[in-house]
Amino acid sequence: MIHTNEDTIAAIATAMSDAGIGIIRVSGKKAISCVSKYYINSKKVHDLEEHEAGTIKFGFFIDDDENIIDEVMVSVMKAPHSYTREDVVEVNTHGGSLVMQQVLKLLTSDENVCRLAEPGEFTKRAFLNGRIDLTRAEAVMDIIEAKNEFALKNSEKQLRGSMRDLIHSLREKILYEMAFIESALDDPENYNLDGYPEKLSGNLSRWISKTKKLLGTADEGRLRTSGIVTVIVGKPNSGKSSLLNVLTGEETAIVTDIAGTTRDVIEHDVKISDLLLHVIDTAGIREATDKIEAIGVDRAKKYASDADLILYVIDSTRELDEEDKQIAEIIKDKKVIVLLNKSDLEENIILTKENLTDNIFSAINIDGENTRVIQTSMLNESGINDLKQAIVELFFNGHLVPCEEMYVTNLRHKKLLENALSSLMLVEQSVEDGMSEDFYAIDLMNAYKYLGEILGEEVGEDLVNEIFSKFCMGK
């Protein structure tokens, strides 16, 4: 069966787990009649189509043989005053997986009346029907997937239209200049272009500055919302797995005194105050003793090469050796925090920050701007606050800025802003080179188009489908 945007669709909108309530959402022209077939009030009357919009009613959901499936509360929202700008009905059942599945199965039993929704299809319809632009649609999923307060607040701003307003305002200004140029070229008697390049140059400087400022938030925005990809490396028995357990607050990794216990990577999202780290614990890097460990060591090297941050755990009670030299070579071009572990064994400490600069360790610039060295003890869980401060220094210029302004966190937005900036700078160059005004219009149009793609005004069906396919079911 070919699916269209005219179909009536249904899906479970809440988590598939035992809960107080579960919600099945239905949207489309036949939403009310579809649910009405299975809904009866306390007097056993099918009266859903008589309900006023914006109301919620108690009743029962029945099957084709009029057996009661569950007590329900049914809400009715009529177009265009709904999430999708279509008729929407939400069936509130008790939150058991079985009852929700039975309700959904009945509603979608005849695909000509109502079919199962695809992932993100409700929000896709909200976009296609003009209720929200593409940035606000993407913000919906960002809110659902938010892993920390920064990500949540930034997504809420985007949902309220902060990104849309910034882009819309810039596009309006560009459109005005494009229209003026076209009018002046078509009707030079009534539109005077004397001094216009200088005026446009001033506007371009402001637009370029604003776009650069927005792009300047992209890297920090990504790190603070998606998390800093952090790879723990070190020799076996240096305390790598113990560090992961301290960071997660649970026994995530097996810790023993047997070298090579960690054979594969272990991944975990970790919050340190306002920071989000996607931490990857790897196999100890050394000359492997068997084939399985060798695979783990190779994976450790691959993850280290792709990381935003390296946490290099060193046993401060042991001398550095050739294996440390090998590790240093692997991570020398990364942001690195060296953790001198086992500081609780004061009498046995051999390595300190001051003596890490011997020839074996010279691949890493201990005093460089991309490296920090701190003392830790996984046994006493000491040094974690110093670790947080070191991360803030390496990635956020020493302090975390409160989420007051709009941050670019979407890679699609970043690429389109970069394209728009390039086009605006080409216009600026044309003005400086004394080119005629008709040359300006081409690059102004390109900037206008790229900004429009951010809002969804200049995008194709394939991109729309790709974006919404990443949404969760029922949203």
CATH of the domain at 78: 3.30.1360.120
Strand partners, 92: 23, 73
- Rounded Cα–Cα distance for residues 303 and 301 (Å): 6
pLDDT > 70 fraction of the chain, expressed in percent and rounded: 90
The helix or strand, by DSSP H or E, that contains position 373, with its residue range, turns out to be strand 371-375
Q: Do 270 and 246 fall into the same domain?
A: yes
Q: Are 333 and 449 in the same domain?
A: no
* Average pLDDT value for residue range 219-231: 88
Q: Is residue 66 part of a domain?
A: yes
Is pLDDT of 253 > 70?
Answer: no
Question: Is the model's pLDDT at 206 over the cut of 50?
Answer: yes
Compute the average pLDDT of residues 254-260. 40
Domain ranges, residue 82? 9-117
Domain boundary among 374, 395, 416: 395
DSSP 41: -
DSSP character at residue 259: T
Co-location of 283 and 333 in the same domain: yes
Q: For residues 107 and 92, what is the distance between their CA atoms, to the nearest angstrom? A: 14
**pLDDT score for 261:** 42
Q: What is the pTM of this model?
A: 0.79
- pLDDT score for 330: 81
Q: Where are the beta strands (DSSP E) in 324-370?
A: 335-341
**Residues 287 and 360 grouped into a single domain:** yes
Q: Please report which helix (H) or strand (E) contains residue 61, including its range.
A: strand 55-62
Structure letter (DSSP) for residue 475: -
Residue 264 has a pLDDT of 54
Confidence class for position 417, pLDDT limits 50, 70, 90? very high
Side chain identity at residue 303, one-letter code: Y
CA 162 to centroid of chain Cα atoms: 17
Per-residue pLDDT, 256: 38
Minimum mean pLDDT range among 80-84, 229-233, 284-288, 387-391: 284-288
Residues 87 and 186 placed together within one structural domain of the fold:
no
Question: Does any domain span residue 130?
Answer: no
Measured CA to CA in angstroms, residue 93 lies from 20, 50, 88 at distances of 9, 21, 16
- Strand 9-12 relative to strand 19-27, pairing: antiparallel
Whether residue 256 is found in the same domain as residue 343? yes
Q: Shortest CA distance to 381 belongs to which of 243, 262, 198, 225? A: 243
- Alpha-carbon distance of 92 to 74, in angstroms, equals 6
Give the pLDDT score at 361: 61
328 and 438 share one domain: no
Asked if 27 contacts 118 with a C-beta cutoff of 8 angstroms, the reply is: no
The CATH number that applies at residue 429 is 1.20.120.430
pLDDT at 54 over 50: yes
Same domain for 236 and 312?
Answer: yes
Give the single-character DSSP code of 271: E
Chain segment 105-114, per-residue pLDDT in tens: 999 999 889 9
- Does residue 8 or residue 388 have the better pLDDT? 8
292 and 199 housed in the same domain: no
Of the candidates 276, 292, 267, the residue with the CA atom closest to the CA atom of residue 388: 276
In a domain, 67, yes or no: yes
Mark which of 367, 395, 423 sits at the end of a domain. Answer: 395
Residues 382 and 238 in one domain: yes
CA angle 445, 447, 451 (to 5 degrees): 115
Same domain, 253 and 341: yes
Beta-bridge mates of residue 40: 60
What band does 262 get if pLDDT is binned at 50, 70 and 90?
very low
Determine the distance from the C-alpha atom of residue 426 to the mean position of all C-alpha atoms in its chain, rounded to a whole number.
31
- Interstrand relation of 68-77 and 88-95 (parallel, antiparallel or unpaired): antiparallel
Q: How many domains does the chain have?
A: 3
Task: Identify the sign of the CA torsion 322, 325, 326, 327.
Answer: positive
Where is 348: in which H helix or E strand? none
One-letter identity of residue 425: M
| Residues 50 and 67 placed together within one structural domain of the fold | yes
Question: Alpha carbon of 105 to those of 5, 63, 267, 474: distances in Å?
Answer: 21, 10, 37, 14
Task: Give dist(CA 350, CA 237) in Å, integer.
Answer: 16
Q: Which pair of structure tokens corresponds to residue 436?
A: 């005629």
Question: Residue 294 has what pLDDT?
Answer: 58
| Residues paired with residue 24 on neighbouring β-strands, in sequence order | 12, 91
